[in-house]
Amino acid sequence: MKMILLRKFRVLILMVFLIACSMHIMIDLLPKLERHGNSGCSCSHTPSEEPQSWGKQGWPNKHTLRILQDFSNEPSSNVSSHSLERIPATGDKTQALRRLEHYGQRGDKKRQFIQDATLAKSIPVKGSRLSALYEHPLYKRSLPPLTNEDTLFNVNTDIRFDPKAAEDQEWNTEGNVDEFSPTGELTADSYPNWLRFHIGINRYELYSRHNPVIDALLKDLVTQRITSVAMKSGGTQLKLIMTFQNYGQALFKPMKQTREQETPPDFFYFSDFERHNAEIAAFHLDRILDFRRVPPVAGRLVNMTKEIRDVTRDKKLWRTFFISPANNVCFYGECSYYCSTEHALCGKPDQIEGSLAAFLPDLALAKRKTWRNPWRRSYHKRKKAEWEVDPDYCEEVKQTPPYDSGTRLLDIMDMTVFDFLMGNMDRHHYETFEKFGNETFIIHLDNGRGQHIHYNMLYMSILVPLTQCCRVRKSTHLRLQLLAKEEYKLSTLMAESLVRDRLSPILIQPHLKAMDRRLRQVLNVLSECIEKEGYTYVVEDDLQGDQGTDHTHTSPQRR
């Protein structure tokens, strides 16, 4: 009797094991089985029904992703975080250049210019305050002559498109031959806008003051068809890498909070939500301040079904989609924080707002160095950073490379003003292009934790670098004074600039008023510096800093 029971138990265990294996196999085969089902998705039209197709084309081979940025916790880090895909080895540019050639060729030939009446508002109104600002002498100062060492790419050598080298030979028969030069190569004007943006980067700026490519690139971010989506690895919150029809790429940050929502005062700055509208506003503020150190950002209303779920090749992302009890399409992805069903991102019914930030060049083509912000916060609930307890901390910074010479310290002061106007307390790292060494601007990336409205003492600590060092560019100070005047009021200029964005209004009125209030606070701090030091606190400089001039020394002009 015991032997019979033992045999039955063994058979039962075997059956359970076989059932479990069968279920795992069915789950793995589910995407491939469903791709033979209905090609459409009912979610886009009738959200009350269960989605019929969760992946129309199965899981093709992995695609190469260019990287936008990384904010490593290691102070010595000089590389950006890797995406889901492996980038070419450092120093080996052949593969990346070939891919760049292929992207530029096909993207240029196949790009579609969508005429939309709603984009007419992106055209500056003649006689507007914003136009008058850019006509002011402070916004017309020219850069030093650029050499090959001052440009990120030398178009004649580093980036040369050869149609015969394209992987897709069918492309050679498309389009007009008029776009080729007599040598059979594509001209720079025919490159896609994202590539023209990359080519324009130099030692002093991400883009020139009146570069028409930027407005064209902003339009591309809104209108280009999304062909592929993947999660970006690293970071505390969900971000998506989107690839467009013209092979450009952008970082998508979805809407997590409404314009009116504020972070509770008891929340730590490192546990705050990232705001898509803060990313958009940061780009416009950066242009108004004439820094031009933020990559182009535009707002876009994305169809989560057709433009994310149905085109993603990321299984982990695909599996987090679901229909909420309110019949809305939702997903949550994978990240360190806020990636769960309790913090899911839901559409209405499948439309969601988000910011799209244009990618910087591939790291294989233009390496970037990641620097630890000297005034980085402790990111600890009880411990304080050194700058919070040492009033003479700036003196130590000024004796430490690269802050002991050149313009880097003044760049930090510019970034401090920028973050204070935005309300961003989370500037732990920044990046520079490695080719330009220490004599170049710093890139203002990752601006999602900005735009707090209400005042608190911790918020004022953003200005500590300015109060401790009492250093700022003369041109920056003059522009801040200009933006405090009624005819060039910062809030008015921001409102006029932001109305061009597809998701307008980007900022509510309390946000705009807060920026005027913060601007006055910055000017008060600088006035106190002058009174305390007894002399002017900067030497003469141009908009981006004189080459080889040490701006950390003061020019003693007694009052």
3-state SS track over 288-330:
HCCCCCCCCEEEEEEECHHHHHCCECCHHHHCCCEECCCCCEE
Report phi then psi at 375, rounded to 5: -100, 35
Query: Which strands sit side by side in the sheet containing 240-244, from one edge to the other?
Result: 226-231, 240-244, 249-254, 351-358, 297-303
Cα distance from N-terminal residue to C-terminal residue, the chain: 107
Do the Cβ atoms of 401 and 466 come closer than 8 Å?
no
- 150 annotated as a binding-site residue: no
Domain ranges for the chain, please list them: 190-358, 368-540
- 358 annotated as a binding-site residue: yes
Strand partners, 354: 254, 300
Q: How many CB atoms lie within 10 A of CB 119?
A: 16
Spatial distance between the Cα atoms of 275 and 453, rounded to a whole number of angstroms: 13
Q: How many CB atoms lie within 10 A of CB 157?
A: 8
| Eight-class DSSP state of 82 | P
- 357 annotated as a binding-site residue: yes
Q: How many CB atoms lie within 10 A of CB 21?
A: 10
Q: What is the pLDDT along the chain (559 residues), one digit of tens a residue?
A: 777 877 888 888 888 888 877 776 776 565 444 444 444 443 334 443 333 344 344 443 333 333 223 333 343 333 333 333 333 444 445 555 454 545 444 444 333 322 333 333 334 444 589 999 999 999 988 889 999 999 999 876 555 544 333 333 333 333 333 344 444 455 667 899 999 999 999 999 999 998 999 999 999 999 999 999 998 876 678 899 999 999 999 999 998 887 777 766 666 555 567 788 999 999 999 999 999 999 999 999 999 999 999 999 988 899 889 998 899 999 888 887 777 887 788 989 999 999 999 999 999 999 999 999 999 988 777 788 899 899 899 999 999 999 998 999 999 999 999 999 998 888 989 999 999 999 999 999 988 877 666 556 667 889 999 999 999 999 999 999 999 999 999 999 999 999 999 999 999 898 999 999 999 999 999 999 888 765 544 544 544 444 333 333 333 333 3
Residue 426 designated active-site = yes
- 237 annotated as a binding-site residue: yes
Q: Where is 31: in which H helix or E strand? A: helix 2-34
402 upstream amide cis, omega within 30 of 0? yes
Torsion of CA 465, 470, 474, 479, to 10 degrees: 60
Q: Residue 443: what pLDDT? A: 96
The number of CA neighbours under 13 Å toward the Cβ of 150 is: 9
Helix orientation angle between 509-533 and 490-498, rounded to the nearest 10 degrees: 140
Q: Residue 189: what pLDDT? A: 72
- 533 annotated as a binding-site residue: no
Burial per residue of 275-288, b for 16 or more beta-carbon CB atoms within 10 angstroms, e otherwise? bbbbbbbbbbbbbb
Catalytic one of 426, 501, 516, 541 = 426
Q: Residue 456: what pLDDT? A: 60
